[in-house]
Amino acid sequence: MAQILIVDDQKSVRATLQITLSRAGHTVDEASSGEDAIQRVDSTLYDLVLTDLKMEGADGLAVLEAVKARDQDTEVILVTAFGTIESAVTAIKRGAHDYLTKPFTPDQVLHAVDLALERRRLRTEVRTLSRRLDDPNDPATIIGESERVRRVLEIVREWAQSDSTILITGETGTGKDLLARAIRSMSPRKDRSYVVVNCATIPDNLFESELFGHVRGAFSGATRNRKGLAQEADGGTLFLDEIGELPLEVQPQLLRFLETGEIRPIGQNRSMRVDARVIAATNRDLGGMIARGEFREDLYYRLNVLPVELPPLRERKDDVARLSSHFVERYAKRLGRPVLEVSKRALLVLQTYEWPGNVRELENVIERGVMLAKGTELRPEHLLMPGRFGLDGTAASSNPAGSLEDVDEISGDLLSLPEVERRHILAVLKACSGNQKKASAILQISKSTLWRKLKEYGIEASRLGPPPPSIEA
Ligand SMILES: Nc1ncnc2c1ncn2[C@@H]1O[C@H](COP(=O)(O)OP(=O)(O)OP(=O)(O)O)[C@@H](O)[C@H]1O
Ligand SMILES: [Mg+2]
């Protein structure tokens, strides 16, 4: 289903095209002159414009130019009378997709329109695909033998087949991103676009436009038409990551989209249908946020149709062994090293640690371990975890299970955990001269989590720099 504009000064031609295209299920607008068309593309995001070449005043080439100036991705098909092929060729050179010669049959029109729309779809997909190829974790392989993870996988395999919204919850690093990708690749939409919106990194005032798009002139700075990320996901999957960070002002629009399947770009007076499967994820306690008035309850129920919770790693220690060898293999290969054996004692250390950063932290510890290990075995001294070994490799505790005797006395105030976290994050950032990438690697949290936390601490936006990219696939 596409949004199409027909431009022709002959009423009969418009009528024929209108019938043919609406029968095929498209939403069709008509313009009776080039000027009229140019006005319309200013207020509506079209997928395709079908325009007559020869018209009084603004002709087909002028329409083509106006369309492409607003949105390169809108396809244009020129309609020419016999004998004006030369101008049609000029049009193709300037970015038109195709031309139709009058007189034409309905089949010829539908064929040309299908090809143009297919080209538009492929172009979007190539963009997301090239990002996907960069993804080191692709394909999304989820390792987990524990009862709880097996149950999660069993249930999402079934849910993946439907189009209902899935809400993934779980602490940081438990694999929510990975699971969302896995659901998508088990779903019938696996070959269609996968658009990731990281709600933590989009500035509040740009949210609506990022998600739902805008037409030129909708607000100051909107110099071109822009498709929103929701529309980019049409036919595919839309992953709303860190949904707990979605600004309250945008929540009603998202709710409307989930309820009706329709979006309305800013400045466009008509809604349009978008067929996207929504998966959302968060490590925040949405229930608590609702109680504090920070998250809409009605939106929560719309998102929480199929809820899935990823358990923290400390509650599924039987996964540690398999995950460890999985990561050892991955990093040995990546570093060009022979695959190491995880020693029995090393495994005991890994299994007794509490993993506050969950699987991500385990992955980081193993990566560093593989770099440090010189022989054929990964041993306890290669495993650098806070509280066990200092970063210089000196043992802080020789007892993997930990005991109170080993803990240092606190000299200053007794601080809350969030305050310790805040101070520690800022200290690490300072030690890295403000380099967020380095700091997030040391802290073993994602760049977007770091960015969000700094925002929470009120670090000025200008010092935070641009947020990490919001689309990936
Ligand atoms: N079951 C698993 N099997 C293999 N790798 C995993 C698994 N769970 C997580 N990982 C890996 O751990 C890392 C962190 O996972 P992911 O980014 O999906 O976590 P998250 O829950 O989205 O974290 P955050 O809340 O911080 O965004 C990734 O590199 C991911 O590939
Ligand atoms: Mg994540």
What pLDDT score was predicted for residue 138?
Answer: 54
- Domain of 431, CATH number, reads 1.10.10.60
Q: Is the CB of 171 under 6 A from ligand 1?
A: no
Q: Is the CB of 142 under 6 A from ligand 1?
A: yes
Q: Is residue 396 in a domain?
A: yes
301 and 387 in a common domain: no
Q: Is the CB of 32 under 6 A from ligand 1?
A: no
Q: Is the CB of 175 under 6 A from ligand 1?
A: yes
283 and 185 in a common domain: yes
> In the structure, what pLDDT confidence band is assigned to residue 400 with cuts at 50, 70 and 90?
very low
Ligand 2 mean position to 242 CA, how many Å? Answer: 7
Write the pLDDT tens digit of every residue in 333-347: 888 888 899 999 999
How many other β-carbons are positioned within 10 Å of the β-carbon of residue 366? 27
Of 28-32, 89-93, 283-287, least confident by mean pLDDT is: 89-93
298 and 219 in a common domain: yes
Higher per-residue pLDDT: 461 or 229: 229
What pLDDT score was predicted for residue 370?
Answer: 92
Among the three residues 291, 311, 331, which one is the final residue of a domain in this structure?
311
| Mean pLDDT calculated for residue range 152-181 | 95
Higher per-residue pLDDT: 473 or 118: 118
Higher per-residue pLDDT: 48 or 83: 48
> In the structure, what pLDDT confidence band is assigned to residue 462 with cuts at 50, 70 and 90?
low
- Whose Cα sits closest to atom 28 in ligand 1? 360
* Single-letter residue type at 329: E
Residue 349 has pLDDT above 50, yes or no: yes
For residues 422 and 201, what is the distance between their CA atoms, to the nearest angstrom? 19
| Nearby residues of 62 by Cβ (< 8 Å), 6 or more positions away | 34, 38
What pLDDT score was predicted for residue 470?
Answer: 46
Q: Is residue 227 in a domain?
A: yes
- Whose Cα sits closest to atom 24 in ligand 1? 172
Of 187-191, 220-224, 244-248, 397-401, least confident by mean pLDDT is: 397-401
Give the residue numbers spanning the domain of 340: 314-406
What pLDDT score was predicted for residue 238?
Answer: 96
Residue 102 has pLDDT above 70, yes or no: yes
Residue 267 has pLDDT above 50, yes or no: yes
> In the structure, what pLDDT confidence band is assigned to residue 129 with cuts at 50, 70 and 90?
low
Give percent above pLDDT 90 in the chain.
Answer: 56
Please state the domain count of the chain. Answer: 4
- Whose Cα sits closest to atom 12 in ligand 1? 360
Q: Is residue 297 in a domain?
A: yes
- Whose Cα sits closest to atom 23 in ligand 1? 173
| Nearby residues of 39 by Cβ (< 8 Å), 6 or more positions away | 31
The token duo for 158 is 């079934």
154 and 115 in a common domain: no
> In the structure, what pLDDT confidence band is assigned to residue 443 with cuts at 50, 70 and 90?
confident
325 and 246 in a common domain: no
128-to-25, 139, 140, 195, 351 alpha-carbon distances in Å? 26, 15, 16, 7, 38
Ligand 2 mean position to 261 CA, how many Å? Answer: 25
**Separation of first and last alpha carbons in the chain:** 24
Q: Is the CB of 472 under 6 A from ligand 1?
A: no
Give percent above pLDDT 70 in the chain.
Answer: 87
Q: Is the CB of 446 under 6 A from ligand 1?
A: yes
207 and 167 in a common domain: yes
Of 59-63, 140-144, 210-214, least confident by mean pLDDT is: 140-144
Ligand 1 mean position to 450 CA, how many Å? Answer: 16
102 and 186 in a common domain: no
Q: Is residue 214 in a domain?
A: yes
Residue 471 has pLDDT above 80, yes or no: no
For residues 283 and 298, what is the distance between their CA atoms, to the nearest angstrom? 19
226 and 82 in a common domain: no
Residue 9 has pLDDT above 90, yes or no: yes
| Mean pLDDT calculated for residue range 383-398 | 54
